[in-house]
Amino acid sequence: MHVGAGRRPRRGRRHSGRAIVPGSVTRRLAPTVVVGTAWLAGSVPFAQLMARRCAHVDLRTVGTGTVSGSALYHLSGVGPLVGAGVLDVLKGAVGPLLAGPDRPALQAVSASAAVVGHDWSPFLGGAGGRGISVALGALTATEPAAAALLLGALALGRLAGDNAGLGTLAGGAAVAVVLPRRRGRDGTLLALGLLAPMAVKRLAGNRRADDATTYLWRALFDRDTRDEVVPALPDPATVPAELAVR
């Protein structure tokens, strides 16, 4: 007996009355799982781990106490900076990729969770960076054009007198304009989710501000003084035993 004539080919096995097509696994993840995974990934302090391994330094104890790529670069050089930077970008993309393009609101919330985890890492007692690399990863996974704008502004700030903070301020403003234009309300939610925690952390810092002027420098240049405070390696005699080379 000839079987299958006139039948439509099966596109995927069935489960609970719904066809599962290849590649749809991540889109079936519960929102709480996506957001929780994004937050946990964002919380991993790669700059701190690199600083401990390469310079035997706790970034919270040098310079302004910011756990950032800039501080890592001054202490360890280009190699560790690139390694930590790539990992920070990748962890920012985790949430949006798990959410999938068909759940843009979940992409925005999970991207924001990654930035929050990075900026107030539980592994650092609430310290952290600003989330720029994490935001770059989230934008690369959702709106590459906005990621290019933020990266370009950061690079220009670096080239223009090492004013990365001023560059990211301009880049954040550009992202706030471009995302709603390209993605509508979903873009507005994504921009708010990324930029709001970055702005709060920028002003709050990792240490209490000395006076109102400190908040002005933080808002404009993302540092506590008009001139950049370059972190330096501490005296080896003061390095805690757990950071010393064994």
Looking at residue 25, what is its pLDDT?
56
* Sequence-separated (6 or more) residues with CB below 8 Å from residue 57: 51, 75, 233, 234, 239, 243
Looking at residue 243, what is its pLDDT?
44
Please say whether the beta carbons of 20 and 12 come within 8 A: yes
Looking at residue 154, what is its pLDDT?
84
Orientation of helix 164-183 relative to helix 185-204, angle to 10°:
160
Place of tokens 């650092």: 124
Q: What is the pLDDT along the chain (246 residues), one digit of tens a residue?
A: 444 444 444 444 443 444 443 445 556 899 999 999 999 999 999 999 999 998 889 988 887 778 888 888 888 888 998 999 999 999 999 999 999 999 999 999 999 999 999 999 999 999 998 899 999 999 999 999 999 999 998 888 777 766 777 888 889 999 999 999 999 999 999 999 999 999 998 888 877 877 888 888 788 877 777 666 666 555 544 444 444 433
What's the whole-model pTM score? 0.79
Looking at residue 55, what is its pLDDT?
87
Cα gap 63→229, rounded to integer Å: 6
Q: Considering Cα of 28, then 29, then 31, then 35, what sign does the dihedral take?
A: negative
Cα gap 205→215, rounded to integer Å: 9
Strand (E) or helix (H) holding 211: none
Instruction: List the alpha helices (DSSP H) in the chain.
Output: 31-43, 46-54, 69-76, 78-99, 104-119, 132-142, 144-159, 164-183, 185-204, 212-221
Closest CA to 106 of 91, 115, 96, 116: 96
Strand (E) or helix (H) holding 226: none
